[in-house]
Amino acid sequence: MSKLPGPGEIFYLTKDKPYQVITIGIHKETCESMVIYQALFGDFKTYVLPVSKFLSEFQQESKEKSTGIKEPEKVSLCNVDDEDPLKTGKNENALEINNEKINETETIEYTDEKMNEVLLSFLDAKSYSKKLEIVTTHIKAMDDRLINNMAASLDCTVNEGPLEQRLQELIYCLKQLSRFEDRRLR
């Protein structure tokens, strides 16, 4: 077991208690190689041990195998010695697929600019009374989606139902909010 543990490797030093090697460091004063590893259970504490002590603990666990206890497993999450797949061109197809998916989701079309203007002016209004004024002046432009967006921005719920009923619930919510609005200048 003279092989150094690498970053990302997981060791099971005891049953059901995995530890992941974060990196190999060097002690500043003694220049001794140290293993920095983290428990992957409980409080996820981070530990530091000299490489020799870390390896001896691992070997001690493997010696217990002869007494009937299961040998600790070593799992490698990534192989540090592998070449970069982006540089070698092995992963070009995956990169192209990701670019296609990104391009598909980039285009969002709005069908009615008037709806967006109403919503934007509603969201930009400084007071609830101004928001109420915007809603009442644009009643003809209201639809379910616009009412939902406005209600969500106010943190109020508007129940499903006929459009007129939903609009009245939104107006009631705005009246109540504007009633308790602080009009004092600070």
The pLDDT value recorded for residue 167 is 92
pLDDT, one tens digit per residue, over 1-51 is 457 888 888 887 777 788 888 999 998 899 899 999 888 888 888 999 898
Is the pLDDT at 146 greater than 60? The verdict is yes
What's the whole-model pTM score?
0.39
Domain positions in the chain are 9-76, 113-179
Whether the CB-CB separation of 20 and 9 falls below 8 Å is answered with yes
Q: How confident is the model at residue 172 (pLDDT cuts 50, 70, 90)?
A: very high
Closest CA relative to residue 84, chosen from 95, 100, 76:
95
pLDDT, one tens digit per residue, over 51-92 is 888 888 765 554 444 444 444 445 544 444 445 544 555 555
Tokens describing residue 65: 């195998």
Whether the CB-CB separation of 56 and 1 falls below 8 Å is answered with no
C-alpha separations of 135 from 48, 51, 56, 164 in Å: 63, 69, 74, 13
The angle subtended at Cα 105 by Cα 104 and Cα 107, nearest 5°, is: 85
d(CA 181, CA 127): 8
The pLDDT value recorded for residue 63 is 45
